[in-house]
Amino acid sequence: MTPVLYALGHFCTKHRWIVVIAWVIILAGMMVGSKSLGWNTSNNMTLNGTGSQDATNLLNDRWPEAANGSIPVVLGAPGGKKISDSEYTDAINETVSNYQNDSNVTSVTSPIGTSQQSEALNSPDGQIAIISVVIKQSANELTVDQGNDLVNLSEPATKAGLTVGLGSYVGNAVSNPNTNLSIIVGIGAALIILLFTFGTLLAMGLPMLTALVGLFTGLCGIYLLGALISVPPIGPTLGIMIGLGVGVDYALFMVSRHRQHRGMGLDYKEAASRATATAGGAIVFAGSTVIIALCCMLVVDVPLLSSMGYAGAVSVLFAMLTALTLMPALLAIAGKGLDRFSLPGYSIETQEKNAESPRWTAWAKAIVRHRVIAVIVSLIALAFLSYPIHQLFLGQQDNGTFPTDTQARISYDLLDEGFGVGANAGFLVAIAIDSTDSSTVQTQLDDLQTALAGASGVASATQATVDSDGNAATINVTPTTGPAAEATSNLVTSLRNTTIPDATKGTSLTAYVGGSTASYVDLATLIGDRLVLTILVVVALGFILMTLAFRALGLALISSLMNLITVLAAFGVTTAVFEVGTGLSLIGIDETIPVLSYVPLIVFAIIFGLSMDYNVFLMSVVREKWLAKKDPQAAIIEGLASTGKIVSAAALIMTCVFLAFVINGNPIVKQFGVGAAFAIIIYATIIRCVLLPATMSFFGKATWYMPHWLDKILPNISIEGDQYFEGLEAKKAQSN
């Protein structure tokens, strides 16, 4: 790999302007291409083998018009007025007419009228009502643009002074808060850290420029991916979080290594080429690990998770490509000017010589000297952080925590106020009818409705609605608890396992509990069932990659365990914040909410990959020192002292980027931000600075153990190409 990267570095420095122009063309082309295809996202909630999917499949087969359920367009009258007041009648009728005339709408039920259906759409106090809309697109098919079009159809009601909010999956699709502020805050924090790390304005600016090009090309790549598969609305946000963080980090490592090579007396072009070959090797290895970890979401066999993994992987891929090509070209263009406009009192020579920091040296020596105490203290701290994980409940999204101006939150609050909290968590019971005796079938449906209505935890169950062919029916069930409540999840289970089987035994009916709430319950169950397998697959791959890279079974095992411990502690902190409520008000949420079912799995994949980044950069130096002196204690001290400052800067940048997204209004984004940020903090401090070096010191030479037979058959991979350049220098010396 080293010769290829070295040649790539030479090409990029020699043809630097061509490389820059090529990236401008690539970025422009991808922006035009993604925009022409439409910057659209949609949730693919296909959950094969679950009750909710069975309900969807049944209705798609027997009653397609009812398969998507209804979308509530919730209307709220102001100041004690009522929906039935004459001043609102025309506006409501016009709104109903708008939906009826829309090509994407299948049916509409107005709250104005004397039918039983219309009366049921009005709250007891008459101040809140629902226009029930059935649309052609499922949650898997609906795009954000289509969702916004449906919102715009309610304009007559809004102009009349009514508060309007669309719920269900339409409301969720259009309620993703803007990420611009988070991006600005993340970039600002990264620039400050880069400035104090490198000490000059140009050395600060080039990594950010490279990262931004990678970020925007990656974002366009995610939207292009959305033309092939369903990418969820949170996918681009996830891509921005990961892409910005790793993009700056990778460019930072390139500039740092470039300066070290300049300090060795190499000219700026050769220094940039060697940085591509050395730091570039670590970037390829670490970035590939992140991509593999994210793509391992395939193991769960849930399209929603797989597409999130792909979105993150695309952003990492473009961060790698820009760091390996655009960064050396920019370094060659900057030349000696890279070190101009430096901070007062900042020494460029110190960084170029890669001098070991006295403070980091003293710290590393203290850890090695008191390794047993260091292990015990760090494990106690990690156990404390991990402890809340026993309270972890994987739930679903609660729209009551969204910003108050979003469609999802407006509809949630209105439904809660007018019809009770359970109105936001309704189930759609899909029923297959396998009898032509309408009288008997009706009796059986009535009995099923009675059983559902009488079940513990159920607020109400509507009378069954039967399709015109008599092949299928639906019953809407409203629980007494909200969508995020654990009791709601338990109710889905009890209805499936007890209530419905008892009520349909010996009848011509087959019933399944479906709808959005039931789908998220099934998603949590699927993830819970496959969580251990997914983690084992990712850890096993990480172990294999570390073994290949460093040819040390002990080191590979220790590194994998450290990553697992990091994730456990991060999950504990996330549980403490969102489910226990520790510091919850600081991130803009008023009440505790469950951790969304897929957040831990995605965070695990991200953090396992990213922590591998820092591990690779640290262990590359430690291994180099180990091979030179065969002294495990000295290797740890020198490795930690040499990499301490730059890896800390990289980790601090990543932490700031993730924390910047905590200010986003979407509670799911907040959970990703908190989980990922604290994982980086934990790894960069407790693990990297204490537990990892102390453990390696404790095991000493055993850390580097490698069976002779295995060492012979494994390919010899040199991540940073030390052997290659040693051979190159030896050849030069012989020729002279």
Segment 401-420 shows an average pLDDT of 91
DSSP 103: T
Amino acid at 429: V
Q: Which residue has the higher pLDDT, 153 or 567?
A: 153
According to the model, what pLDDT value does residue 725 have?
66
466 versus 37: the higher-pLDDT residue is 466
Stretch 552-574: mean pLDDT: 92
| Burial classification of residue 270, based on how many CB atoms lie within 10 Å of its CB (0-12 exposed, 13-18 middle, 19 or more buried) | middle
pLDDT at position 490 is 94
Two domains, one topology: 1-37+177-355 and 358-399+528-705:
yes
Both structure tokens of 691: 């537990």
Q: Which two tokens stand for residue 666?
A: 């979407």
Domain ranges of the chain: 1-37+177-355, 69-136+143-174, 358-399+528-705, 410-520
The H-assigned helical ranges of 429-515 are 438-454, 486-494, 500-504
CA distance 453 to 430: 15
State mean pLDDT over 463-479: 92
Q: Average the pLDDT over 667-688 and give the result.
A: 92
Q: How many CA atoms lie within 13 A of 6 on its CB side?
A: 13
Residue-wise DSSP of 158-186: HHTT-EEEE-HHHHHHT-----HHHHHHH
User: Would you say residue 494 has pLDDT above 90?
Assistant: yes
| pLDDT over 90, % of the chain | 52
Which pairs with CB-CB distance under 8 Å and at least 24 residues apart come from 112-118?
112/84
Q: What is the third-level CATH fold of 358-399+528-705?
A: Multidrug efflux transporter AcrB transmembrane fold (1.20.1640)
- pTM recorded for the entire structure: 0.86
Q: What is the DSSP letter of 347?
A: -
More confident call, 723 vs 430? 430
At the fourth CATH level, the homologous superfamily of domain 1-37+177-355 is: Multidrug efflux transporter AcrB transmembrane domain (1.20.1640.10)
Name which of 70-84, 129-143, 435-449 the model is least confident about. Answer: 129-143
Beta bridge partner(s), residue 476: 428
Q: What is the pLDDT of residues 696-719, one digit of tens each?
A: 999 999 999 999 888 888 887 767
Say what percent of the chain tops pLDDT 70. 95
Q: Tell me, what's the pLDDT at 380? A: 97
> In the prediction, which pLDDT does 39 show?
65
- Residue 720's pLDDT is 64
Instruction: Kindly indicate the confidence band of residue 728, based on its pLDDT and cuts at 50, 70 and 90.
Output: low
pLDDT at 614: 82
User: How confident is the model over 232-266, as pLDDT tens digits?
Assistant: 888 888 899 999 989 999 999 899 888 888 888 88
The Cα 36–Cα 47 span in angstroms is 31
Q: How far apart are CA 646 and CA 351, in angstroms?
A: 10
Phi, psi angle pair for 473, to nearest 5°: -150, 165
Give the up-direction half-sphere exposure of residue 353: CA atoms within 13 A in the CB hemisphere: 7
Task: Report helix, strand or coil for 45.
Answer: coil
225 and 219 Cβ atoms separated by less than 8 Å: no
Using CA atoms, how far apart are residues 407 and 411, in angstroms rounded to an integer?
A: 6
Tokens, residue 554: 């002990």
According to CATH, what is the number of the domain 69-136+143-174? 3.30.70
Task: Give the span between the Cα atoms of 10 and 528, in whole angstroms.
Answer: 49
**pLDDT value of position 694:** 96
Name the average pLDDT for the chain.
88
CATH number of 410-520: 3.30.70.100
Structure tokens at 443: 């009796």
Q: How long a stretch of residues is the chain?
A: 736
Winning range, highest mean pLDDT, from 107-121, 144-158, 620-634: 144-158
pLDDT greater than 90 at residue 619: no
Please state the rounded mean pLDDT for residues 27-35: 91
**End-to-end CA, the chain:** 27
85 CB-contact burial (10 Å; exposed 0-12 / middle 13-18 / buried 19+) = exposed
Q: What is the pLDDT of residue 139?
A: 76
How far apart, in whole angstroms, are the C-alpha atoms of residue 232 and residue 229?
A: 10
**H or E stretch covering 473:** strand 472-479
pLDDT value at residue 163:
95
pLDDT for res 341:
72
- What does the pLDDT read at residue 446? 95
Spatial CA neighbour of 270 closest among 280, 258, 279: 258
Q: What 3-state class would DSSP assign to 513?
A: strand
